[in-house]
Amino acid sequence: MLRLLGPVEIRAESGWLAAGSPRQRLVLAALAVDAGRTVSLDALVDRVWGPEPPPNVRRTVHSYIARARRALERMPAGAGGPVRVVNAGGGYRLDIDPERVDLHRFRRLVGQARAMVAAAPRGAALREAVGLWRGDPLIGLDGSWVERVRRSWRHEWVSAVVAWAETELAAGDPGDARGVVTDLVAEFPLDESLAGVLMKLLAAGGRKAEALEHYTAIRDRLADELGIDPGPQLRAVHRALLRGELDPAGHDQAQVVTSSAP
């Protein structure tokens, strides 16, 4: 496996290894996001160095590619053979089964879960997807491209966690999700989807007063920092709280009320 959802690491026979220097890890990440597809030289340079590449950047890229190849030699061969970086069409391609890159596995699991109706397999897929994250993506790397993809991946992460928590709530076993959601709310205090699902989780655990306090806190914060009121879905969760529909005994009814909110 090659990890991007946290530090950039490769799985060798001896265990997890950092994939070289920060720039070296960035080169590998810039190829891994398009695993199995060619990344043009221009795109690779832009991802790694931005608008001000070093002199003789082609030679520099070749040097980093050679180091990446040596690092990848330590990964065991998969069903498709050894992991390699190959020259292709004026660029480079990382030949690896996307399932061996945590980002692509995460996206595949989330996509599968969206197509599932039954709560148990849906929850299992989302739980596995959420478990692939080990902190901020691409830890220790910087640059404009890193910041762009990090923001995008964080949104995917939040959406997956909310979907997982909602699924666990529907199944009546939301305990594992509560801690993850609580941590994310601290990181994204203005995200209404996270606030809403945290309120449901608190209510399902018999902590209705805390759920109401959290609504007040995010309502005030939205007004102070963005000059807006809570959206319709968050207001619907608040109404359900006030009516007692999210209390543990009334949880099943709450699912119908909140899922039909505008």
Enter the pTM of the model.
0.88
Are 71 and 7 in contact by the 8 Å Cβ rule? The answer is no
Contacts of 42 (CB under 8 A, 6+ apart): none
pLDDT at 79: 65
Fold of 1-163: Arc Repressor Mutant, subunit A (1.10.10)
The 8-class DSSP code of residue 154 comes to H
**DSSP for residue 37:** S
Q: What is the pLDDT along the chain (262 residues), one digit of tens a residue?
A: 899 999 999 987 777 877 889 999 999 999 999 999 999 999 999 999 998 898 999 999 999 999 999 888 888 877 667 899 999 888 999 999 999 999 999 999 999 999 998 889 999 999 999 999 998 999 999 999 999 999 999 999 999 999 999 999 998 888 789 999 999 999 999 999 999 999 999 999 999 999 999 999 999 999 999 999 999 999 999 999 999 999 886 444 434 333 333 2
CA distance 105 to 43: 23
CA dist., res. 75 & res. 80, Å (int): 13
Residue-range domain boundaries for the chain: 1-163, 172-262
What is d(CA 91, CA 11) in angstroms, rounded to the nearest whole number? 25
CA triple 127-133-135, angle to 5 deg = 140
Distance CA 173, CA 121 (A): 14
CB atoms under 10 Å from CB of 187, counted, come to 12
For the chain, what percentages of helix, strand and coil (3-state, to nearest 5) are there? 60, 10, 30
Q: Does domain 172-262 have CATH number 2.60.120.960?
A: no
pLDDT of residue 32: 96
Distance CA 15, CA 9 (A): 10
